[in-house]
Amino acid sequence: MTADWQIKTIDELKADFRSAIAMGPFGSRIKAENFVTEGVPILKGGNLHGVFIDDNKCDYLTEEKAEELKSSIAVTGDIVITHRGTIGQVSIIPKNSRYPRYVVSQSQLKVSLNMELVNPLFVNYYLRSKEGQHQLLSYSSQVGVPAIAKASTSVRKIKVPYPPIHVQNKIVYVLKVLDDKIELNRQTNQTLEQIAQAIFKSWFVDFEPVKAKIAALEAGGSEDDALLAAMQAIAGSALFATDAADADAQTQLARLQADHPEQYATLRATAELFPSAMQESELGEIPEGWVISQIGDEVTVVGGGTPSTKNPEFWEGGTINWTTPKDLSNQVDKVLIDTDRRITQAGLNRISSGLLPVDTVLMSSRAPVGYLALAKTPIAVNQGYIAMKCEQTLSPEFVIQWCETNMAEIKSRASGTTFAEISKKSFNIIPVLVPQESLISVYSKHVHQLYLKVEMNVRENKSLAELRDTLLPKLLSGEIDVSALADNTEANA
């Protein structure tokens, strides 16, 4: 640490008001009737992502209830820390957050800092560093549910390196450039996933191209009119977007035909694959020619296992990726490129399902049910998974979206007293609607490209995070000199 750097405690850097460091409200202060579909979001551990908040999946409180809990309100610049459960998660409310305020849950606490003394992002980065995590965890107890003892008091004692504020800003700038790129990739991946979901729903759940054909024929149109109607429905599903997004559907198709004739031909060929009639089935009306099957008849469903952790032969020096649902617990993207733990060949020999191929669909089968990912590396799984090898008509891209769309049905078939679990037997019999192979092939071709982009972004994010984590201790200790950066360099919460 350089000579002009000091050491300050969180208590010395906190804001002046009484609730500057405050824990979330106990569960008894928030009851089911307080939750609403829109309002003030509640932050939990799963929403905390370093310098960003993922507030896409939150519970909400009424404005009135949030006001009752105002000591637990976090706003721009406030740091949020998990003190119970998965302790040590740290994030910050950024200045571009979607909501003006958040309520922290009972497992979190918030820290409001004096922004005249310190850049909150600098403290956020320190608390996420190895040294910061060591201090946080030094106050934890592992008896029962892991927790930081007397959390609000303990956090006050944490010591933070304290360079001059202009140095803090420069350090934050270097680190946040990397985090901003990581976040941009993450948002791009969310958009790509939403496109894949939207196409699946349009084609295979709502049957929009089929219904468009039927409506055109019932209105007295010709087969060609029906085909054009289906093309318009498909064009609206984001696969064949044009620059004339504000024009009507016919104008968009005309523009597409003129400017991109090959793409127009692909769209027309795709529309021809959809039938123009419906038929009755045990699931209600479905497109003519499509069949009802069971998911266990369409994919190869396997489970996994855990080699004895007491036998070092199964673990030491292992190079084979071995996954548990924990690998997916904080993962936003539906691809898995790496695992926390690896096993040896001897360990793999203890798992009956063996090494699963790339593009195996992974679904956690317990604690909780429903994490999903495509394996983008050969992988072995533990007993907490249902793994699906797509070796027949249904593609990996189709199956993972089918699982997402039917997750409520999947979870309803889970059982258990300690925690919900779905067995392979219960999963295998879930009905699945199987379209023609040619249509699945077209869908999979397009969505496969989306997942290739997702995978590329995930791999880039892994490299960026490794670079950030390598720079982090060197910047926070002063080992890397940032004085050459312009004095007006700023990066604030």
Q: What residues form DSSP beta bridges with 421?
A: 366, 415
What percentage of the chain reaches a pLDDT higher than 70?
A: 95
pLDDT at 370: 94
Going through 288-423 in order, the beta strands assigned E by DSSP cover 291-294, 300-302, 320-323, 335-336, 341-343, 361-365, 369-375, 380-381, 385-389
Residues 6+ apart with CB under 8 A from 449: none
pLDDT interval class at 33 (50, 70, 90): confident
Helices (H), 81-128: 120-128
Mean pLDDT of 345-367: 96
Q: Is 143 helix (H, G, I), strand (E, B) or coil?
A: coil
pLDDT at 491: 57
Place of tokens 């791009």: 188
The number of beta carbons lying within 10 Å of the beta carbon of residue 223 is 11
Is residue 336's pLDDT more than 90? yes
What percentage of the chain reaches a pLDDT higher than 90?
A: 75
Going through 35-99 in order, the beta strands assigned E by DSSP cover 35-36, 40-43, 48-49, 52-53, 59-61, 73-74, 79-82, 90-92
User: Which of 100-109, 137-146, 187-196 is the least confident region?
Assistant: 137-146
Place of tokens 């950030």: 468
54: nearest Cα among 111, 120, 24, 99: 99
Separation of alpha carbons 401 and 372, rounded Å: 9
Domains of the chain: 6-163 (3.90.220.20), 185-290+439-457 (no CATH), 294-434 (3.90.220.20)
Give the tens place of pLDDT for each residue, 439-489. Answer: 999 999 999 999 999 999 999 999 999 999 999 999 999 999 998 887 656
pLDDT at 246: 47
Strands 40-43 and 102-104: parallel
Q: Is 309 helix (H, G, I), strand (E, B) or coil?
A: coil
Is residue 242's pLDDT more than 50? no
Q: How many CA atoms lie within 13 A of 302 on its CB side?
A: 19
Mean pLDDT of 15-44: 85
Highest mean predicted confidence (pLDDT) among 238-252, 321-335, 451-465: 451-465
Tokens of 188: 């791009």
18: nearest Cα among 70, 67, 65, 68: 70
pLDDT at 141: 80
pLDDT interval class at 149 (50, 70, 90): confident
Is residue 3's pLDDT more than 90? no
Is residue 251's pLDDT more than 50? yes
Say if residue 368 is preceded by a cis peptide, omega within 30 of 0: yes
pLDDT at 222: 94
64 against 363, higher pLDDT: 363
As a whole number of Å, the end-to-end CA separation of the chain is 24
**DSSP 8-state class, residue 260:** -
What is the DSSP track for 437-483?
HHHHHHHHHHHHHHHHHHHHHHHHHHHHHHHHHHHHHHHHTTSS--T
Question: If you average pLDDT over every residue of the chain, what do you get?
Answer: 91
Give the tens place of pLDDT for each residue, 205-222. Answer: 999 999 999 999 999 999
pLDDT interval class at 28 (50, 70, 90): low
The number of residues in the chain equals: 493
* Category of 368 on φ-ψ map: left (φ > 0), alpha (ψ -120 to 50) or beta: beta
